[in-house]
Structure 1
């Protein structure tokens, strides 16, 4: 059973006399009603009926739109709607999603994402073929705000089936978009809900690592889900402040407890290096638009993750002139907490002085 952690809500088993469908498609929303029509349409096109599938929208007290009206318009009584009495934040809204789910398999589908025809059929086949799996996910498609396809997620293996060495792979970086994964409800009952210690980023990744540490996971090669990327994501306050990397570092520390002792440091260090490089890629984007403060925050958090040779090399590939400005800005705005980080910055400044004319 799930350990009793104050930061991880218990998902209680349903009473035995409750009539349960196979599916719970639970759609959390907050100020995204303009996309909700597309989301609901993609589910309703595959609707096997209320005896088989629960479909419910859980709104975190939206203030900018009216998701209830969208549900009434498209759902026509088929889709249930629940609204929080006040805004509680998306992780606690996810908890409500899990608590209100009644199906054997739970699909949390964000209110701005979608699924393709065949998603539920293929996921159901996976659980029926391998009843011991804890979750199943498919390859997915990145789309933009206008629902134009952008790219595909990497192919995890050439054929559909249970993934091998999956914990080692998912432990290093996020490889699953939430709309692409279905989890058996009994897994949430055993492992608990999403971790509240993570404020903005990575709570889903930590959950997928937790599941991989306890259950086999199925992968479907056909891309059957859409994950929407918003053009405004780079300007978000949490990312500009570096909280995205702070949260990923927290998630890595939490996930470390799911590994065998001999693997914990190795996998955690690989994950920290990955997210340091991830932060530097965002720093480059901020430098390109002239946002030096945000770039510095990403560079600072990269160093707090890792100062491996690969990270230092990637830092040196940034524009020397702009990077010098960021380092100078950082010296005025904040004091790096770690002596190793300070030494690394001095070493980089020395290298930049040698290359600044190139």
Structure 2
């Protein structure tokens, strides 16, 4: 029987990327799920973005030599910290484990072999659970999420090309439930403008490579939904987060629309661009910047009449206390 060291030598190294900031309890859960992987040959890169409470003690409590810890002297911003961790990776494959998410023990065991068996596949991905702030699985939320992102009926196998799957259906979650060939991505070329939409842009880079994607039809990770997630913050509760997220999305869709290889999807990208332009304008209204908001409503309406954009534009001419409540 092969020893653990012999098994690890036969397995390609996988780099687990965990950027973190001010989530010590969640971080401990995330790292526990990484260290419990049945796939053993991994390195876990924890990049702390100058948290108020240094999580080094939490990392050291695992007493696991596979964990590499780095702490920024100042806060670099979410994207810069994440890319820093990606660039520290040494593995043949790379997978992102955000500090508030978790993996099932066989996540890597299930997704690495399809990549090893198919050199023309750039990433392998799966479905995932939705859990609440306390770590309890939300059954209804999970199934709603799987259905909305078209994974419910998706068959196991290789999809090539997978542009529609990744950029229209958004079925591929590179930040939550995917393993990627590290050398297939030029990490230094990811522009700062992608901001919190870096996973969407990463999907784009993987698609434009011309390689395929492998889908494994099982829920092998857990996405934690809580009030401080980027998705929830960019909703109605935080207009600054809403503005930042919308600007990042607009940048991404403008890149997609300009790509000659994606012209068959251009109408979808244009529709998303219009909706997000309106969303950005609404965020600016809430920030009490009606003059800055109007051009986004106008350019959205120039492409297609939208009741939402039209009402927002009219509200931008009303007194600020009224407009900022939209």
Whether TM exceeds 0.5 here: the answer is: yes
The question of whether the paired residues in 2 share the 8 Å contact of 1:61 and 1:83 is answered with yes
Deviations 1:279-319 (CA, angstroms, capped at 9, x unpaired): 778999x9xxxx9726989997566456555x615668xxx
Matched, 1:30 2:32: no
- Aligned equivalent of 2:324: none
CA drift of 1:40 comes to 0.8
Q: 1:328 aligns with which of 303, 315, 321?
A: 315
CA drift of 1:256 comes to 3.5
Q: 1:207 aligns with which of 192, 196, 202?
A: 202
Cα 1:268–1:194 shift into 2, 3 Å: farther
The question of whether the paired residues in 2 share the 8 Å contact of 1:132 and 1:216 is answered with yes
Deviations 1:307-332 (CA, angstroms, capped at 9, x unpaired): 555x615668xxxxxx57x7334556
User: Secondary structure of 2:60's partner?
Assistant: helix
Deviations 1:231-269 (CA, angstroms, capped at 9, x unpaired): 2423234334x2322221111122345442xx43x5234
Whole-angstrom CA distance in 2 between matches of 1:204 and 1:306: 28
In structure 1, stretches of 5+ residues that fail to align are 1-18, 317-322, 334-358
State TM-score, norm by structure 1. Answer: 0.70
Q: 1:216-295 counterparts in 2 under 5 A?
A: 216-232=212-228, 233=233, 234=235, 235-240=237-242, 242-260=243-261, 263-264=262-263, 267-274=265-272, 276-277=274-275, 293=286
CA drift of 1:218 comes to 1.3
Whole-angstrom CA distance in 1 between matches of 2:258 and 2:187: 15
Cα 1:48–1:35 shift into 2, 3 Å: same
State TM-score, norm by structure 2. Answer: 0.76
Cα 1:281–1:86 shift into 2, 3 Å: closer
- Aligned equivalent of 1:143: 131
- Aligned equivalent of 1:184: 181
Superposed CA RMSD: 3.4
Whole-angstrom CA distance in 2 between matches of 1:144 and 1:298: 34
Cα 1:308–1:140 shift into 2, 3 Å: farther
The question of whether the paired residues in 2 share the 8 Å contact of 1:30 and 1:59 is answered with yes
Larger radius of gyration: 1
User: Secondary structure of 2:192's partner?
Assistant: coil
Whole-angstrom CA distance in 1 between matches of 2:191 and 2:63: 32
- Aligned equivalent of 1:54: 43
For these two proteins, the number of residue pairs brought into alignment is 293
The question of whether the paired residues in 2 share the 8 Å contact of 1:56 and 1:80 is answered with yes
Cα 1:94–1:42 shift into 2, 3 Å: same
User: Secondary structure of 2:168's partner?
Assistant: coil
Cα 1:30–1:272 shift into 2, 3 Å: farther
- Aligned equivalent of 2:30: 39
In structure 2, stretches of 5+ residues that fail to align are 1-9, 321-326
CA drift of 1:212 comes to 0.8
